[in-house]
Amino acid sequence: MIKELNLIDEKFNRAQQKEKFLYLKNNFLKNGYVVYENLLSEEEVSLLFEYTKLKRNASKWINKYCVGDYPNSFTKPIFSKLYFGLLGELDFKKETFSLSGDAFTDTLLNKYKNIFEKVSGEELYNTTSFLRFYVKGDKLLNHTDRGELAVSGTIHVGGNQWELGMKDLSGNNKNINLRPGDCLIYQGHNCQHWREPLEGKECLQVFLHYTPTKNEYFKYDRREGLGLPPVVTSEKDLEFKKQLGLGGYIED
Ligand SMILES: [Fe+2]
């Protein structure tokens, strides 16, 4: 009797999952984005939040004491930026911290690839993962992502909730709010997105980026594998992207 009930439960769960992904895929294809609630577990959210705070502290320490003539080559600016993350890049505040291709976030990238494949209906390669710990006053200009990042996710991890603006595929502006662990899965190269200045103290977002398997050239975002820092874009890459018809801006 118990075995039969377990079997009925299992069938019911499978049918429910099928319905859920059908709904997510339809919305993703129609609007260019969809919110996947609780992609990360509470434990993953909590670990990632604490981990990033340590990484940010390490980056501040490296920048303060080890940049310049410090004898260890791993603390020279080029290495410190790649391995320990950036502070105050682009037009962001000087306390804003970002890190690309970290082993923790690349592990999440690979772990959740199958979810992104089910939602987009495409077979995908991992390209890169990225995190940014924004601070008060940061904003994101209206932009699209570079073309090869065709299927992306932005996950709210911690700090203040921060509304994201997005133009959907029908040209309507939408405002999206995420709770910790929620992931906005979106076509970053097709849908313009932006954020008004952050009014809260800080906000941690993690980005997972994938490319369809037809873009094999951009597998791992030109890195040898997962967990490695980003590769600086070469003229050859830019030329190749032009040939493939990939456009968009490099900002995240
Ligand atoms: Fe972006």
- Is 10 contained in some domain? no
Paired tokens of 70: 């410090």
Q: So what's the pLDDT on residue 83?
A: 74
Task: Specify burial of residue 128 (Cβ count, 10 A radius: 0-12, 13-18, 19+).
Answer: buried
Ordered strands of the 33-36 beta sheet: 33-36, 183-186, 151-159, 202-212, 124-135, 97-100, 86-87
| CA distance readout (Å), 227 to 88, 104, 106, 108, 151 | 23, 8, 6, 11, 20
Greater confidence, 105 or 88? 105
For residue 73, report the distance from its CA to the centre of ligand 1, in Å.
Answer: 32
Q: What is the CATH classification number for the domain harbouring 113? A: 2.60.120.620
Greater confidence, 54 or 229? 54
For residue 191, report the distance from its CA to the centre of ligand 1, in Å.
Answer: 9
DSSP strands (E only) in the chain: 33-36, 86-87, 97-100, 124-135, 140-143, 151-159, 164-167, 173-176, 183-186, 193-195, 202-212
Residue 178 to residue 162: CA distance in whole angstroms: 8
- Per the CB < 8 A criterion, the answer to whether 73 and 79 are in contact is yes
- Is 223 contained in some domain? no
For residue 194, report the distance from its CA to the centre of ligand 1, in Å.
Answer: 8
Average pLDDT over residues 36-61: 96
Q: What sign does the dihedral 104-110-113-114 (CA atoms) show?
A: negative
- Per the CB < 8 A criterion, the answer to whether 106 and 226 are in contact is yes
For residue 192, report the distance from its CA to the centre of ligand 1, in Å.
Answer: 8
Q: What pLDDT digit, counting tens, does each position of 123-177 carry?
A: 999 999 999 999 999 999 999 998 888 999 999 999 999 999 999 999 999 999 9
For residue 207, report the distance from its CA to the centre of ligand 1, in Å.
Answer: 9
Q: What pLDDT digit, counting tens, does each position of 93-105 carry?
A: 999 999 999 999 9
Nearest Cα to 132, choosing from 68, 194, 86, 180? 86
Q: Give the count of beta carbons closer than 10 Å to the beta carbon of residue 207.
A: 22
User: What domain count does the chain have?
Assistant: 1
Candidate ranges 76-85, 179-188, 218-227; pick with highest mean pLDDT: 179-188
- Is 70 contained in some domain? no
Q: So what's the pLDDT on residue 251?
A: 41
Q: So what's the pLDDT on residue 66?
A: 62
Paired tokens of 25: 């895929």
For residue 22, report the distance from its CA to the centre of ligand 1, in Å.
Answer: 26
For residue 201, report the distance from its CA to the centre of ligand 1, in Å.
Answer: 21
For residue 13, report the distance from its CA to the centre of ligand 1, in Å.
Answer: 34
- Is 236 contained in some domain? no
Question: In sequence order, which residues have a C-beta less than 8 Å from that of residue 24 and are 6 or more positions away?
Answer: 34, 36, 118, 119, 185
For residue 72, report the distance from its CA to the centre of ligand 1, in Å.
Answer: 35
For residue 145, report the distance from its CA to the centre of ligand 1, in Å.
Answer: 5
Give the structural domain span for 90.
29-65+77-218
Q: What is the pTM assigned to this prediction?
A: 0.87
Task: Specify burial of residue 85 (Cβ count, 10 A radius: 0-12, 13-18, 19+).
Answer: buried
For residue 188, report the distance from its CA to the centre of ligand 1, in Å.
Answer: 6
